[in-house]
Amino acid sequence: MSRFFSFTRLAALLVKESIQMRRDRVTFAMMIGVPLLQLMLFGFAINTDPKGLPAALVAPTQDRFTRAMISALELTGYYRFVAPDASAPLAEEMIARGDVAFVVTVPSDFGRRIERGDRARILIEADATDPSVASGAISTLSTVAASALRREAGLDATAPPGNGIDITVHRRYNPEGITQYNIVPGLLGVILQLTMVMMTAMALIRETERGTMENLLSMPATPLEIMLGKVVPYFAVGAVQVAVVLVSAKLVFDVPFVGAVHVVLAGIFVFVLALVILGYLISTVSRTQMQAMQLTFFFFLPSLLLSGFMFPYRGMPPWAQVLGEIFPLTHFLRLIRSVMLKGADATTVAGSFSALTLFAIGLALLALLRFRRTLD
Amino acid sequence: MTAPAISVTGLTKRFGARTVVDGVTLSVAKGEIMGFLGPNGSGKTTTIRMMCGLLEPDGGEGRVLGHDIRHERRAIKRKVGYMTQRFSFYEDLTIAENLNFVAGLYGMKPARKAVRDTLADLGLTARRDQLAGSLSGGWKQRLALAACIMHKPDLLMLDEPTAGVDPKARREFWDEIHALADGGLTVLVSTHYMDEAERCHRIAYISFGHLIAQGKVPQVVRDAGLTTMIITGPKTAEAARLLKGALGVDQVAPFGATLHVVGTDAELLKKTVEKVARDTGNAAADSETSLEDVFIQLMGESEDTPT
Ligand SMILES: Nc1ncnc2c1ncn2[C@@H]1O[C@H](COP(=O)(O)OP(=O)(O)OP(=O)(O)O)[C@@H](O)[C@H]1O
Ligand SMILES: [Mg+2]
Q: What pLDDT tens digit does each residue of chain A (376 aa) get?
A: 344 565 556 656 666 666 766 667 775 666 556 655 655 565 566 555 677 888 898 888 888 878 887 888 888 888 888 888 888 899 988 988 888 988 988 888 888 887 777 787 888 888 887 777 767 777 777 777 777 777 776 765 454 444 566 777 787 777 666 666 777 777 778 877 877 888 888 878 888 888 889 999 998 888 888 888 888 888 887 777 777 777 777 777 777 778 888 888 899 889 999 999 999 999 999 988 889 988 998 888 889 888 888 777 887 888 888 999 999 999 999 998 888 888 888 888 899 999 999 999 999 999 999 888 888 8
Answer yes or no: do A141 and A195 share one domain. no
Question: Does A24 fall in a domain?
Answer: no
Domain check: are A216 and A114 in the same one?
no
The pLDDT, as a whole number, for residue A113 is 82
Q: Which domain does A110 fall in, by range?
A: 53-172
Residues A322 and A237 in one domain: yes
CATH number at residue A106: 3.40.1710.10
Query: Which pLDDT belongs to residue B1?
Result: 55
Query: Is residue A35 domain-resident?
Result: no
* Domain extent for B119: 6-217
CB B217 within 8 A of CB B51: no
Interface contact flag, B55 A376, Cβ < 8 Å: yes
A194 and A221 belong to one structural domain:
yes
Residue B305 lies in a domain: no
| Contact between chains at B53 and A374 (C-beta distance less than 8 A) | yes
Q: Which carries the bigger pLDDT value, residue B296 or residue A160? A: B296
Residues B91, B177: one domain? yes
Helix (H) or strand (E) holding B102: helix B95-105
Position with higher pLDDT, B196 vs A61: B196
* Interchain contact, B84 vs A217, CB within 8 Å: no
Are A343 and A173 in contact by the 8 Å Cβ rule? The answer is no
Judge: B84–A211 Cβ closer than 8 Å, yes or no. yes
Q: For chains A and B, count residue pairs whose Cβ atoms are closer than 8 Å.
A: 49
Q: What is the pLDDT of residue A17?
A: 66
Q: What backbone torsions phi and psi does residue B167 show, to the nearest 5 degrees?
A: -60, -40
User: What was the pLDDT predicted at A34?
Assistant: 60
Same domain for B232 and B201, yes or no, is: no
Residues whose CB falls within 8 Å of the CB of residue A262, separated by 6 or more in sequence, listed in order: none
Centre of ligand 1 to C-alpha A375, Å, is 12
Domain co-membership, B271 together with B201: no
Distance from CA of A204 to the nearest CA of B (A): 13
Residues B258 and B113 occupy one common structural domain:
no
Q: How remote is the CA of residue B48 from the centroid of ligand 2, in Å?
A: 9
Confidence of residue B307 (pLDDT cuts 50, 70, 90): very low
Q: Residue A222: its chain B contacts at CB < 8 A?
A: 74
pLDDT surpasses 50 at B304 = no
Distance A21 CA to ligand 2 centre (A): 29
Which pLDDT belongs to residue A31? Answer: 55
In this complex, which of B52, B74, B90 lies closest to A212 when CB atoms are compared?
B90
Q: Write out chain B residues lying below 8 Å of A376, CB-based.
A: 55-56
In a mutational test of the pocket of ligand 1, which residue from B46, B47, B190 has the highest number of ligand atoms less than 8 Å from its CB? B46
Boundary of a domain, candidates A114, A146, A172: A172
Instruction: Please tell me whether residues B197 and B232 are part of one structural domain.
Output: no
Set of chain B residues whose Cβ sits within 8 Å of the Cβ of A374: 53-56
CATH code for the domain of B277: 3.30.70.100
- B77/A374 touch (CB, cutoff 8 Å), yes or no: no
Q: Separation of B302 CA from ligand 1 center, angstroms?
A: 17
- Give a yes or no: residue B297 inside a domain: no
Whether the Cβ atoms of residue A126 and residue A134 lie closer than 8 Å to each other: yes
Interface contact A220-B78, CB threshold 8 A: yes
Residue B110 is assigned to a structural domain of this protein = yes
**Bigger pLDDT: A148 or B199?**
B199
Of the three residues A122, A139, A172, the one that is the final residue of a domain is: A172
One domain for residues B252 and B199? no
- Structurally, chain A folds into a number of domains equal to 2
pLDDT tens-digit readout, B46-79: 999 999 999 999 999 999 999 999 999 989 999 9
My answer on whether B183 and B164 are in the same domain is yes
Q: Is the domain of A90 the same as that of A127?
A: yes
Clarify whether residues B120 and B246 are in a common domain. Answer: no
Residue B232 lies in a domain: yes
Q: Residue B46: CB within 6 Å of ligand 1? A: yes
Q: Is the CB of B40 under 6 A from ligand 1?
A: yes
Q: What is the pLDDT of residues B228-257, one digit of tens each?
A: 999 988 888 888 888 888 888 888 888 888
Do residues A184 and A325 share a domain? yes
Residue B78 sits in the same domain as residue B144: yes
Do the domain assignments include residue B116? yes
Find out whether B269 and B229 touch, Cβ atoms under 8 Å: yes
Q: Which of B186, B217, B248 is the last residue of a domain?
A: B217
B114, B256: one domain? no
Q: Please judge whether A375 and B49 are an interchain contact, meaning their C-beta atoms are less than 8 angstroms apart.
A: yes
| Residue B109: pLDDT band with limits 50, 70, 90 | confident
Quick one: A196 and A293 in the same domain? yes
Whether A220 sits inside 8 A of B82 (CB atoms) is no
> Does A220 lie in the same domain as A117?
no
Q: Does residue B296 form part of some domain?
A: no
- Does A2 reside within a domain? no
Residue B244 domain flag: yes
Q: Whose C-alpha lies nearest to ligand 1, atom 12?
A: B20
Does B1 fall in a domain?
Answer: no
Q: Is residue A32 part of a domain?
A: no
Considering the domain boundaries, does residue A44 fall inside one?
no
Q: CA-based angle A275:A229:A195, to the nearest 5?
A: 30
Q: Are B149 and B156 in contact (CB under 8 A)?
A: yes
Tell whether A165 and A187 lie within a shared domain.
Answer: no
The larger pLDDT score, comparing residue B189 to residue A13, is at: B189
Tell me, yes or no, whether A188 and A332 share the same domain: yes
Is residue B38 lining ligand 1, measured as CB closer than 6 Å? yes
Report helix angle A179-210 to A328-342, nearest 10: 140
Among the candidates B194, B217, B240, a domain finishes at B217
Asked, for residue A320, whether it belongs to a domain, the answer is yes
DSSP string, B25-86: EEEE-TT-EEEEE--TTSSHHHHHHHHTTSS--SEEEEEETTEETTT-HHHHHHHEEEE-SS
What's residue B305's pLDDT? 46
* Whether A87 contacts A58, CB under 8 Å: yes
Question: Is B157 in contact with B84 (CB distance < 8 Å)?
Answer: no
Model ipTM value: 0.86
B196 CA distance to ligand 2 centroid (A)?
16
Instruction: Check CB contact of A71 with chain B, cutoff 8 Å.
Output: no
Residue nearest to atom 28 of ligand 1 (CA): B41
Compare CB distances from A375 to B55, B89, B90 and report the shortest one's residue: B55
Please indicate, yes or no, whether residues B64 and B132 belong to a single structural domain of this protein.
yes
Could you tell me which residues of chain B have a Cβ less than 8 Å from any Cβ in chain A? 49, 52-56, 73-74, 77-78, 80, 82, 84, 86-91, 102, 105-106
Q: Residue with the nearest Cα to atom 26 of ligand 1? A: B40
Please tell me the distance from the alpha carbon of residue A145 to that of residue A57, in angstroms, as a whole number.
13
User: How many domains is chain B partitioned into structurally?
Assistant: 2
Residue A17 falls within a domain, yes or no? no
Query: Are residue A245 and residue A158 in the same domain, yes or no?
Result: no
Judgement on whether residues B89 and B10 belong to the same structural domain of the protein: yes
Q: Helices marked H in chain A — which ranges? A: 7-23, 25-45, 64-75, 88-97, 110-116, 131-153, 179-210, 212-218, 223-251, 261-285, 289-306, 318-324, 328-342, 350-370
- In B, minimum Cα distance to A226 occurs at B105
Same-domain status, A232 and A363 = yes
Give domain status of residue A22, yes or no.
Answer: no
The type of residue at B272 is: T
